[in-house]
């Protein structure tokens, strides 16, 4: 694996060595935490489900009134060039669009675009085999449908999370669960129905793929889920680009199902890995 100092990044119109990528402190991302981003997984050299991530990136930008300075084709060209220059086949490609350099520190000017490609760590086989404990927290993200760069609550809760031995925090507001700071949430009912929240979430690309895959084997529902229903579920799992499908075995102090990863969660993880493999094979042709 190449060390980070051999990597290149896209920085305000140019591809530069990663160590030279810069933003001025007047940028609204620094001043006010204003900006959006997206994150694509590169597997065996191919950015998986790229069009879905680009759709979401342009939509996030639009909803935050920021204009992406590159067309979709230009953005794809830059991604292809970074893949070529970095030669990092297993990686995360992050596109960040900031509020831009602001004269008064509040009004957005011309958004700045940065793209990095960095090595990726996926959950270990051991973690998947054991499943993870999570805690809940009363919160809902400010603009849930947008992938903003603001993760303040999730980051602030890291200490509490560690103190209670949880590995992730599930947000719930008025007893209705939504998502994690960086992942979506699913439950599996005792009749195998796979359910995921409908509202107050970022529409994860992995969530979308898992819902499609689940629909081929099980009944699926997209609707509100109350915390009590979570605690009585047979299985729970989370989904994200980097974590794929990760079983959850404890929510606060309640064990879920048998306290071990469930068959449906593990089946969907395998189905997702197969789908990723098909994408790579199709891209190679
Ligand atoms: C708030 C939030 N929810 C859900 C997800 C999962 O989305 P995806 O499957 O596209 O990675 C993310 C991804 O980072 C996220 O930031």
Centroid of ligand 1 to alpha carbon of 89 (angstroms): 22
Give per-residue pLDDT as tens, 167-208: 999 999 999 999 999 999 999 999 999 999 999 999 999 999
Q: Which two tokens stand for residue 199?
A: 């509202």
Q: Do β-strands 91-98 and 112-119 pair in parallel, antiparallel, or remain unpaired?
A: antiparallel
Q: Ligand 1 within 6 A of 262 CB?
A: no
Residue ending a domain, choose from 100, 119, 138: 119
Q: Within this chain, do residues 138 and 260 fall inside the same structural domain, yes or no?
A: yes
Per-residue model confidence (pLDDT) at position 206: 98
Q: Within this chain, do residues 114 and 16 fall inside the same structural domain, yes or no?
A: yes
Q: Within this chain, do residues 44 and 70 fall inside the same structural domain, yes or no?
A: yes
Centroid of ligand 1 to alpha carbon of 226 (angstroms): 21
Per-residue model confidence (pLDDT) at position 275: 98
Task: Tell me how crowded residue 77 is: count the other CB atoms within 10 A of its CB.
Answer: 12
Range 110-139 average pLDDT: 97
CB 117 within 8 A of CB 9: yes
Q: Ligand 1 within 6 A of 178 CB?
A: no
Phi-psi region at 65: left, alpha or beta (left = phi > 0; alpha = psi -120 to 50): left
Give per-residue pLDDT as tens, 3-54: 577 999 999 999 999 999 999 999 999 999 999 999 999 999 999 999 999 9
DSSP 3-state of 244: strand
Q: What percent of the chain has pLDDT over 90?
A: 97
Centroid of ligand 1 to alpha carbon of 107 (angstroms): 27
Domain of 10, in residue numbers: 4-119
**Sorting pLDDT into bands at 50, 70 and 90, what band is 2?**
very low
Provide the CATH number for the domain around residue 58.
Answer: 3.30.470.10
Give domain status of residue 143, yes or no: yes
Give domain status of residue 282, yes or no: no
Centroid of ligand 1 to alpha carbon of 245 (angstroms): 12
Residue 202 alpha carbon, nearest atom of ligand 1: 3
Per-residue model confidence (pLDDT) at position 5: 74
Distance of CA 162 to CAs 157, 159, 169, 173, 285, Å?
Answer: 9, 5, 10, 22, 45
Per-residue model confidence (pLDDT) at position 3: 59
Res 1 pLDDT > 80: no
Per-residue model confidence (pLDDT) at position 228: 98
Residue 53 alpha carbon, nearest atom of ligand 1: 10
Residue 201 alpha carbon, nearest atom of ligand 1: 3
Mean pLDDT of the chain: 97
Centroid of ligand 1 to alpha carbon of 109 (angstroms): 27
Give domain status of residue 284, yes or no: no
Task: Classify residue 87 by its DSSP letter.
Answer: -
Counted domains in the chain = 2
Q: Whose CA is nearest to atom 13 of ligand 1?
A: 182
Give the start-end residues of each E strand in 189-277.
194-196, 220-222, 235-240, 244-251, 254-255
Give domain status of residue 170, yes or no: yes
Q: Ligand 1 within 6 A of 206 CB?
A: yes
Q: Within this chain, do residues 155 and 259 fall inside the same structural domain, yes or no?
A: yes
Q: Ligand 1 within 6 A of 234 CB?
A: no
Give per-residue pLDDT as tens, 218-238: 999 999 999 999 999 999 999
Q: Which two tokens stand for residue 44?
A: 């065996």
Q: Ligand 1 within 6 A of 92 CB?
A: no
Computed from CA positions of residues 4, 10, 14, 15, in that sequence, does the dihedral angle turn out positive or negative? Answer: positive
Q: Within this chain, do residues 86 and 203 fall inside the same structural domain, yes or no?
A: no
CB 72 within 8 A of CB 113: no
């Amino acid at each position: 694996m190449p060390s980070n100092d051999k990597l290149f990044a896209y920085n305000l119109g140019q591809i530069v060595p990663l160590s030279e990528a810069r933003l001025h402190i007047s940028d609204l991302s620094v001043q006010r935490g204003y900006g959006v981003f997206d994150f694509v997984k590169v597997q065996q050299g191919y950015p998986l489900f790229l069009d879905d991530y680009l759709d979401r990136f342009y939509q996030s930008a639009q909803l935050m009134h920021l204009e992406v300075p590159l067309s979709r084709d230009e953005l794809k060209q830059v991604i292809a060039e970074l893949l070529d220059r970095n030669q990092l086949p297993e990686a995360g490609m992050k596109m960040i669009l900031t509020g831009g350099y602001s004269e008064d520190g509040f009004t957005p000017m011309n958004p700045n675009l940065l793209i990095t490609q960095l090595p990726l760590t996926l959950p270990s086989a051991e973690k998947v085999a054991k499943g993870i404990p999570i805690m809940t927290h009363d919160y809902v993200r400010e603009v849930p449908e947008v992938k903003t760069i603001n993760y303040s609550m999730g980051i602030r809760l890291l200490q509490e999370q560690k103190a209670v031995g949880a590995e992730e925090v599930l947000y719930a507001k008025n007893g209705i669960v939504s998502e994690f700071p960086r992942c979506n949430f699913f439950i599996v009912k005792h009749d195998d129905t796979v359910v995921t929240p409908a509202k107050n979430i970022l529409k994860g690309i992995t969530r979308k793929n898992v819902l499609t895959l689940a629909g081929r084997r099980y009944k699926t529902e997209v609707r509100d889920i109350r915390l009590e229903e979570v605690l009585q579920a047979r299985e729970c799992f989370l989904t994200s680009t980097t974590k794929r499908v990760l079983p959850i075995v404890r929510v606060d102090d309640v064990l879920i199902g048998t306290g071990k990863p469930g068959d449906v969660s593990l089946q969907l993880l395998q189905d997702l890995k197969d789908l990723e493999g098909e994408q790579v094979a199709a891209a190679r042709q």
